[in-house]
A = this chain, B = another copy of it.
Amino acid sequence: MTKSSVLIVGSLAFDDLEMPSGTFENVVGGAATYASIAASLLCPVRLVGVIGDDFPSAVISDLGKRGVDTSGVEKASGKTFRWRGRYAKDLSSRETLDTQLNVFADFRPKIPATFKTTPYVLLGNIHPALQLEVLAQIERPKLVVADTMNFWITGEPKLLGEVMKKVDLLVINDEEARELTGIHNLVKAAADIRKRGPKHLIVKRGEHGALYFDEAGAFFAPAYPLEDVLDPTGAGDSFAGGLLGYLTCVGTLEHPVMRRAIYFGSALGSFCVEGIGPRRLLDVTKADLQKRMGEFMSLVETGGPVVLPV
């Protein structure tokens, strides 16, 4: 039996990062890049996106060596998508200084024929119209996961509503969940979102962990507490990639597999923030991941049931 793959559609980019530790320019980034690097530690990846003439071919061939099928990465004439951001001193917030869509402006995802039956699909944070175009091109997968952002929540609510009807798992952050629903309380907001389509919902809370909601109830996993955080860029994408990588590798969605997948996503996210750009993430081995998972589990371990003494 061939190993299952995950299809990842989204941005490949250059990031210019103004960090408290220095300014780093031309850092290879993009949601699909981070998600692919994370997922490829756990399963084969099929990547769909667009790059310009200026994107280093070495990065594409390195992805290939990691088991990422890059035949869906289109090379367009022009410059690669570029984002410039400045982070707060404590890294808890960031400000977008500049966004240059470049070749991403005219991007229309084309799913290669060999990718159309991929069982696990991650729709990165792109225009909801493009997310719908991807869904129209593929055969019904086992699981469709979508990310989105405030920009689409306010700018394209109708199209986003269509996307939500067609995805199994929506991954957003707490502020996005509040903006999407107009409800401050996350438990109530989650119930509201799940009524709009996605049976599964993850609400990311950065360093405060992630909440997950499905028909079995609510689940909470903390973020792995780190002593040294260098760069949060791509952490959410690494989370999604790691989560899907684990699900694809396990090959079942039976309860409580999604809960375990969230821990794997968080572990990959924790590696991501330890380096500028994807530098640290690229170096992570399966052994590193296993070690961190052990430490992660010891962080929440209660040594058995926690009940009232009789």
A residues neighboring B (CB under 8 Å):
42, 90, 184-188, 205, 208-209, 211, 217-222, 225-229, 249-250, 255-256, 259-260, 263-264, 286, 289-290, 293, 296-303, 305-309
Contacts and interface: CB of A to CB of B under 8 A. Distances in A.
Contacts of A226: 185, 187
A309 B42 CA distance: 9
Which residue, of A185, A263, A289, A308, has the highest number of chain B Cβ atoms within 10 A?
Answer: A308
A300 B256 CA distance: 11
8 contacts: A185-B227, A209-B222, A219-B299, A220-B225, A259-B301, A260-B302, A264-B306, A293-B306
Contacts of A187: 225-227
Contact of A263 (B217, B229, B263, B306): B306
Given A184-B90, A208-B205, A225-B218, A306 B297 contact: yes
Nearest to A224: B220
Given A220-B222, A293-B306, 20 more contacts: A42-B308, A185-B226, A185-B228, A187-B225, A187-B226, A205-B208, A209-B222, A211-B225, A219-B299, A219-B300, A222-B222, A249-B308, A249-B309, A256-B302, A256-B303, A259-B302, A260-B302, A286-B308, A297-B305, A297-B306
A220 B299 contact: yes
A24 B207 CA distance: 35
A67 B72 CA distance: 70
A189 to B, nearest CB: 10
B306 A260 contact: yes
A307 B289 CA distance: 10
A263 B302 contact: yes
The 3 A-B pairs with the shortest beta carbon distances in the complex, nearest first, are A256-B303, A220-B222, A208-B208
Nearest to A228: B185
Contact of A218 (B229, B250, B299): B299
A217 B289 contact: no
A229 B187 CA distance: 11
A220 B301 CA distance: 9
B309 A250 contact: yes
Nearest to A249: B309
Contact of A293 (B186, B225, B263, B307): B307
